[in-house]
């Protein structure tokens, strides 16, 4: 008997109770994380264990993922870099430099709005917008 992994089901489970922000910012990913950590008291760190690896046109692309786990909570924040060597993690959002995923616990609207307002005050940030799950065609690319 052959078992088949249901990717759609896996992806839906992964995205249950998540919020996703798209960010346009002309700063390096490590500088952006440093500013988030300083302004918000977060502790974003590069997590090489969940780096996203995509193969396209017989080439490998690596998208770093930074992670911040909220103390005494199941909530974690993940910051993906959307570009790597001319390729995009989410091609439908090519204009977005970063993708911020909040996962593991429900994030209330006012908490999400507060995060968006704080990000907007970071030097080099041009835009922050919440991306709804329906608009994301390549959700599977964010699953680690």
User: Per-residue DSSP letters for 95-140?
Assistant: T-SEEEEEESS---HHHHHHHHHHHHTSTTEEEEEEEPGGG-S-GG
pLDDT above 80 for 34: yes
Residue 5: per-residue pLDDT:
55
Residue 12: per-residue pLDDT:
65
Residue 39: per-residue pLDDT:
92
Q: Are 100 and 21 in contact (CB under 8 A)?
A: yes
pLDDT above 70 for 83: yes
Q: How many domains does the chain have?
A: 1
Q: Structural domain of residue 116, as residue ranges?
A: 17-142
Mean pLDDT of the chain: 86
* Domain contains 2: no
* Domain contains 48: yes
* Domain contains 56: yes
pTM: 0.85
Query: Residue 64's domain is classified under what CATH number?
Result: 3.30.310
Residue 139: per-residue pLDDT:
64
Q: pLDDT digit string (tens) for 45-62? A: 999 998 888 888 788 888
Element housing 19 (H / E): strand 19-25
Q: pLDDT digit string (tens) for 95-106? A: 999 999 999 888
* Domain contains 12: no
Residue 53: per-residue pLDDT:
86
* Domain contains 27: yes
Strands 87-88 and 98-103, by their bridges, are: unpaired
Residue 35: per-residue pLDDT:
94
* Domain contains 120: yes
Residue 144: per-residue pLDDT:
64
């Amino acid at each position: 008997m052959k078992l088949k992994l249901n990717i759609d089901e896996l992806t839906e489970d992964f995205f249950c109770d998540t919020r996703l922000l798209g960010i346009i910012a002309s700063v390096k990913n490590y500088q952006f994380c440093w500013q988030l950590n300083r302004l918000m008291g977060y502790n974003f760190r590069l997590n090489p264990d969940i780096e996203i690896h995509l193969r396209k046109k017989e080439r490998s692309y690596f998208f770093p993922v930074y992670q911040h786990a909220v103390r005494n909570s199941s909530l974690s924040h993940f910051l993906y870099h959307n570009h790597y060597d001319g390729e995009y993690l989410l091609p439908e959002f090519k204009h977005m430099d970063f993708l911020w995923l909040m996962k593991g616990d429900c994030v209330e609207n006012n908490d999400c709005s507060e995060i968006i307002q704080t990000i907007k005050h970071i030097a080099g940030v041009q835009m922050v917008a919440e991306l709804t799950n329906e608009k994301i065609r390549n959700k599977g690319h964010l699953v680690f």
